[in-house]
């Protein structure tokens, strides 16, 4: 390999040119990089929704969900089908395996559509759908609320629609959707006794309204010069015209207003609603185009909203509900500050240990390497986000290693009396190859995250390209740029001992280290046995380290979910939500603002939050605390408030996660073939959970029954009276819920005209038996003459997973981590699991399931990682024995990891596991440098004993310096909830492993090759 240092020193002007080009381009790349809160990852889930008005939950399951699911199980790459059925509705979650490549997911959704279309002929008549949602991962990072105390919902909608259209024109905006819109309706309500008295059928009213307002072409006359269209008057222009609609009954003409009340209002029951700080609101959710810069978008939105605020009518306000650009701005500012701290720490290590001149050389390499990384990130479209910024900070502690090794060797040779040019060239000959091998091995430690499957690995995937790029560029800089800096800056004195012999290793510290090393070499068995014992102890202690998949973020939002019993109306949900909102109004000292959604959840305003589909018994609050301390106080107070004052509400308080989310900390899923048996087993699991004092708020995702009215029909009687079962059902539906008769067009709003009975006739259960049923010429008869009315309970909601009923038992925890708490309770179900009949199971769900699955994916590329590392070692060391010896040092980092995590009470999760794997490469890198130096000394004619001792002394400073730079560079990351566990794992593991590398590795080498001191 050509001496690149020599090439650089002989072509200084060219090298200086490229230094300037890379640095300037890096500045431009930095400002051009996209900004995001989280790296993008693909949600491999699609939702298929089907409606069948009038069907019970069981009928939906048997006749719709099951038939559709049987077709959808042929979906390529399917992991599982999860579905729930309730009255008139079926929802199927199609979840793909994590191994499915991201670029294949949308093609798979097309196949799901085709499969569902194939199943359509098998579905019952009257089924509406399927409807597909394959954009489940859209993130609406900026959410606004339009409020106005004296304005109606329709007036707010009109203003919100105008704002939405303006926002769609802002550069970088992908979508803008309205939230909480209440559709207007015109209700034609008749009294039941009035219809019966006059003998007017609901169908006649519906037909008359539809005929009067039907949109139909009247023709077009083509003249020689132009086409002239014929337009007819008579369409409804206002409510008065609707009231004047003629109804022909038996030759008599009635006006609609004479027999029914015509009024305009909002959909009843209400559609999902949004509130901001207790006020009714229409929301506007804005998403960014793929690859956009969230900071630039935020500035553009702020400017646009500022202009719009001045043009709104008095009393209407625009509020910022979610401000992801500000979160990203704060996050990047915090990470840049952390990066600056890391730079200062690394420079302090360099200046303190190498002197200010040599430290300047290292300092000059850092911005150049970072600029090069920004260039590569810009070329490959890697955005600045939580993961890539953290990767930069991790890389910072590693990228100075090669520069430190190169300039340290150059300094040593200058101390030995070599000239500047020769010292620089010698440093390349002595260190370039092992440094390159070590760099590639360190990069190899991140192979698992680069090539493993799964959502967690995809979330952290930017680690590999950023760190690998930084390390490879740092090697190039260390052999071509650092010598150029050093040639100008480094000035050292030649060091010689008392006899005049040149010796840079004559200080007291080196003499003490030499005595300690020789003592270890003389007591090889004791050293190796103690090391082995401590390693075994550390493996044992790992079992006591807390386990956590991903920690909660430091975002100020608190998510409070409220679920009323299944079957509860949206009005009942609204009443409970308003009670809780009134309580939040008393906590303004800790709350910046809050919004809540009745009948559905908030839009996905951050990628790690799963949106909740519409349910009338569900409400969700998004509370923005003033700071993290206020957030902690609020959680405690809200929890107490819920348990004390909302006993009928199933509540769930959670934070936004830093990684893939879970609904509850503890989740166990029970599956089987019989619903009643599954419910019984779930009850036993819940009883075991209640015995655990660390668990509270134990609940089921479904296990309740709802009230229902059963009509027992006599088919013979219906046949005699000339009415079919279907006609009876349609008549009841029209009179109770209402049936669309026509549409009223005004502006951009199409309003349904709906016929139904008036309130007292359709909402009083006691009057149901007297509801008149039209029989044509026979007139009306009460419902109880056609059917026997009874009351029953039924499963209002049924969850299935892969064709089996499935109930998830869930719980919150007082302390500890979700993974530990789930594992503890799962272990307690062992006896119950062993007693289950065939086909029934109790499985781990939630974060522990995701964690275990992610670890399985992470383990798969590890053999490839070790093959790459072993191959690199063989090329560098050229002996199997030396390769094996070097690999044996890799596990030594576990000693430091185990003690470090326990002492700091830091949980081990997915990110920490990545750090432990990366630690392997760092340790092996240091071992290579030492063993390569031993080879060089032996090749120069030294005895094996002296080669071991001299190599350890010679490599002590560069190994310790590079290790301390990496260790101390992690310190700014330790407070981070996301990166802290990795920082602790790497720093503690590398600290212990480095010390052992300098003492235990020489001892292992001497023991392996039976090296003894010559007498």
Residues contacting residue 240 through CB under 8 Å, at least 6 positions apart: none
Is the preceding omega at residue 383 within 30 degrees of 0, hence cis? no
Is the preceding omega at residue 269 within 30 degrees of 0, hence cis? yes
Nearest to 894 by CA among 547, 536, 546: 536
**pLDDT lower than 50: segments of the chain:** none
Q: What is the pLDDT of residue 233?
A: 57
Residue 398 near residue 467, CB atoms below 8 Å: yes
SS (H, E, C) 640-653: HHHHHHCCCCEEEE
Question: How many other β-carbons are positioned within 10 Å of the β-carbon of residue 248?
Answer: 12
Beta strands in 481-564 (DSSP E): 557-563
Give residue 591's region: left, alpha or beta (phi > 0; psi -120 to 50): beta
Residue 932 near residue 434, CB atoms below 8 Å: yes
Which neighbouring-strand residues pair with 287? 175
Q: What is the DSSP string of 770-817?
A: G-EEE-GGG-EEEGGGTEEEEEEEEESEEEEETTEEEEEEEEEESSS-
Structure-token pair, residue 719: 């046949």
3-state helix, strand, coil in the chain (%, to 5): 55, 20, 25
Residue 650 near residue 562, CB atoms below 8 Å: yes
Structure-token pair, residue 122: 């098998």
Task: Give the number of C-alpha atoms closer than 13 A to the C-alpha of residue 998, restricted to the C-beta side.
Answer: 23
Alpha-carbon span 210 to 204, nearest angstrom: 10
- Provide the whole-model pTM: 0.82
Question: How many other β-carbons are positioned within 10 Å of the β-carbon of residue 492?
Answer: 17
Q: Is the dihedral of CA 21, 26, 27, 29 positive or negative?
A: positive
Alpha-carbon span 893 to 890, nearest angstrom: 7
Alpha-carbon span 796 to 145, nearest angstrom: 33
Question: How many other β-carbons are positioned within 10 Å of the β-carbon of residue 672?
Answer: 23
φ, ψ dihedrals at 809, nearest 5°: -95, 130
Nearest to 950 by CA among 963, 961, 936, 966: 936
Alpha-carbon span 374 to 390, nearest angstrom: 14
Helix H or strand E encompassing 440:
helix 420-444
Name the packing angle between helices 356-379 and 12-32 (round to 10°).
Answer: 50
Residue 424 near residue 5, CB atoms below 8 Å: yes
Alpha-carbon span 49 to 136, nearest angstrom: 13
Structure-token pair, residue 371: 């600029």
Query: Any alpha helices (H) in 661-749, and if so which ranges?
Result: 675-690, 715-721, 725-736
Alpha-carbon span 872 to 508, nearest angstrom: 37
Residue 597 near residue 640, CB atoms below 8 Å: no
Task: Give the number of C-alpha atoms closer than 13 A to the C-alpha of residue 193, restricted to the C-beta side.
Answer: 3
Residues contacting residue 86 through CB under 8 Å, at least 6 positions apart: 57, 60, 566, 796, 797, 798
Alpha-carbon span 646 to 164, nearest angstrom: 37
Question: How many other β-carbons are positioned within 10 Å of the β-carbon of residue 1014?
Answer: 8
User: Tokens 């359709």 identify what position?
Assistant: 762
Supply the DSSP symbol for 270: P
Question: How many other β-carbons are positioned within 10 Å of the β-carbon of residue 1013?
Answer: 14
Name the packing angle between helices 324-354 and 294-311 (round to 10°).
Answer: 140
Alpha-carbon span 610 to 660, nearest angstrom: 9
- Exposed/middle/buried for residue 568 (C-beta within 10 Å: 0-12, 13-18, 19+): buried
Residue 813 near residue 541, CB atoms below 8 Å: no
Task: Give the number of C-alpha atoms closer than 13 A to the C-alpha of residue 375, restricted to the C-beta side.
Answer: 16
Alpha-carbon span 995 to 1007, nearest angstrom: 18
Residue 794 near residue 807, CB atoms below 8 Å: no
Give the β-pairing of 797-801 and 78-86.
antiparallel
User: Tokens 């310790």 identify what position?
Assistant: 960
Residue 372 near residue 399, CB atoms below 8 Å: no
Residue 610 near residue 304, CB atoms below 8 Å: no
Q: Could you read off the pLDDT of 742-768 as tens digits, one per residue?
A: 777 776 677 888 888 776 666 677 777
Q: What is the pLDDT of residue 451?
A: 87
């Amino acid at each position: 390999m050509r001496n690149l240092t020599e090439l650089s020193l002989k072509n200084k002007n060219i090298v200086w040119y490229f230094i300037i080009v890379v640095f300037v381009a890096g500045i431009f790349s930095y400002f051009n990089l996209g900004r995001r809160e989280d790296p993008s990852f693909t949600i491999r889930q699609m939702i298929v929704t089907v409606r069948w008005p009038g069907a019970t939950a069981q009928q939906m399951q048997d006749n719709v969900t099951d038939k559709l699911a049987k077709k959808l199980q042929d979906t390529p790459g399917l992991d599982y089908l999860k579905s729930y059925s309730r009255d008139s509705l079926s929802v199927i979650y199609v979840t793909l395996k994590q191994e499915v490549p991201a670029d294949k997911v949308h093609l798979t959704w097309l196949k799901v559509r085709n499969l569902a279309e194939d199943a359509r002929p098998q579905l019952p008549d009257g089924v509406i759908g399927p409807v597909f949602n394959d954009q489940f991962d859209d993130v609406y990072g900026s959410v606004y609320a339009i409020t106005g105390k004296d304005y109606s919902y329709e007036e707010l909608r009109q203003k919100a629609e105008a704002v939405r259209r303006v926002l769609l024109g802002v550069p970088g905006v992908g979508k803008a959707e309205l939230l909480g819109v209440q559709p207007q309706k015109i209700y034609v309500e008749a009294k039941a006794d009035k219809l019966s008295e006059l003998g007017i059928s609901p169908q006649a009213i519906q037909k008359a309204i539809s005929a009067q307002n039907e949109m139909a072409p009247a023709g077009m006359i083509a003249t020689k010069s132009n086409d002239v269209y014929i337009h007819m008057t008579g369409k409804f222009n206002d409510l008065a015209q609707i009231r004047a609609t003629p109804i022909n009954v038996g030759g008599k003409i009635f006006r609609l207003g004479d027999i029914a009340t015509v009024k305009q209002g909002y959909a009843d029951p209400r559609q999902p609603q949004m509130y901001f700080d207790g006020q009714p609101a229409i929301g506007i959710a804005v998403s960014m185009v793929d690859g956009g810069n969230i900071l630039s978008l935020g500035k553009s939105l702020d400017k646009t909203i500022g202009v719009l605020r001045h043009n709104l009518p008095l009393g209407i306000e625009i509020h910022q509900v979610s401000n992801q650009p500000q979160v990203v701005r704060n996050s990047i500012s915090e990470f840049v500050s952390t990066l600056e701290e890391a730079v200062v720490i690394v420079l302090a290590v360099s200046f303190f240990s190498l002197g200010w001149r040599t430290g300047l050389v290292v300092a000059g390499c850092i911005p150049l390497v970072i600029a090069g990384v920004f260039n590569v990130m810009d070329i490959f479209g890697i955005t600045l986000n939580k993961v890539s910024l953290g990767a930069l900070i991790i890389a910072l502690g590693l990228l100075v290693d090669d520069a430190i090794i190169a300039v340290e060797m150059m300094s040593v040779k200058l101390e030995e009396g070599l000239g500047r040019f020769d010292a620089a060239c010698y440093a390349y000959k002595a260190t370039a190859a092992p440094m390159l091998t070590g760099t590639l091995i360190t990069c190899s430690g991140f192979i698992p995250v680069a090539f493993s499957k799964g959502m967690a690995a995809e979330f952290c995937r930017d680690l590999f390209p950023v760190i690998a790029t930084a390390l490879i560029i740092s090697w190039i800089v260390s052999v071509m740029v650092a010598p150029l800096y050093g040639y100008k800056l480094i000035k050292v004195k030649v060091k010689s001992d008392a006899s005049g012999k040149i010796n840079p290793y004559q200080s007291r510290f080196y003499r003490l280290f030499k005595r300690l090393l020789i003592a270890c070499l003389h007591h090889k068995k004791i050293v190796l046995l103690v090391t082995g014992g401590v390693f075994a102890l550390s493996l044992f202690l790992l079992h006591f380290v807390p386990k956590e998949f991903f920690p909660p973020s430091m975002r100020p939002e608190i998510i409070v979910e409220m679920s009323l019993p299944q079957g509860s109306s949206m009005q009942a949900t609204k009443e409970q939500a308003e009670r809780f909102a009134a309580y939040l109004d008393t906590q303004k000292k800790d709350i910046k603002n809050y919004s809540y959604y009745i009948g559905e959840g908030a839009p996905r305003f951050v990628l790690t939050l799963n949106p909740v589909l519409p349910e009338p018994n569900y409400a969700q609050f998004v509370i923005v605390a003033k700071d993290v301390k206020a957030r902690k106080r609020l959680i405690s107070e809200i929890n107490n408030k819920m348990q004390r004052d909302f006993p009928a509400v199933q509540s769930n308080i959670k934070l936004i996660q830093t990684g893939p989310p879970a609904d509850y900390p503890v989740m166990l899923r029970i599956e089987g073939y019989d619903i009643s048996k599954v419910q019984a087993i779930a009850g036993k699991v819940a009883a075991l959970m209640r015995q655990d004092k660390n668990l509270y708020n134990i609940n089921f995702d479904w296990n309740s029954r709802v009230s229902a009215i059963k009509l027992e029909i006599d088919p013979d009687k219906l046949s005699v009276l000339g009415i079919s079962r279907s006609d009876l059902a349609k008549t009841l539906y029209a009179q109770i819920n209402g049936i669309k008769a026509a549409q009223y067009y005004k502006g951009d709003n199409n309003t349904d005209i709906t016929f139904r009975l008036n309130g007292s006739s359709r909402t009083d259960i006691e009057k149901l038996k007297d509801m008149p049923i039209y029989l044509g010429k026979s007139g009306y008869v009460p419902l109880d003459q056609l059917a026997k009315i009874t009351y029953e309970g039924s499963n209002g909601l049924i969850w299935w997973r892969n064709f089996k009923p499935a109930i998830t038992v869930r719980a919150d925890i007082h302390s500890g981590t979700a993974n530990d708490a789930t594992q503890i309770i799962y272990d307690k179900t062992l006896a119950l699991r062993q007693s289950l009949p065939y086909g029934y199971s109790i499985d781990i769900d939630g974060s522990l399931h995701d964690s275990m699955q992610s670890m399985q994916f992470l383990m798969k590329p590890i053999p490839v990682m070790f093959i790459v590392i072993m191959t690199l070692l063989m090329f560098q060391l050229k002996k199997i024995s030396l390769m094996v010896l070097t690999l044996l040092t890799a596990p030594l980092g576990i000693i430091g990891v185990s003690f470090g995590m326990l002492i700091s009470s830091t949980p081990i999760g997915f990110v920490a596991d990545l750090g432990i794997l990366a630690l392997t490469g760092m340790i092996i890198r240091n071992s290579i440098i030492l063993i390569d130096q031993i080879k060089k000394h032996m090749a120069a004619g030294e005895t094996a004993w002296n080669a071991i001792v001299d190599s350890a002394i010679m490599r002590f400073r560069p190994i310790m310096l590079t290790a301390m730079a990496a260790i101390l560079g992690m310190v700014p990351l330790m407070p981070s909830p996301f990166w802290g566990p990795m920082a602790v794992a790497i720093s503690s593991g590398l600290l212990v492993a480095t010390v052992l590398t300098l003492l235990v590795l020489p001892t292992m080498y001497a023991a392996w090759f039976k090296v003894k001191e010559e007498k």
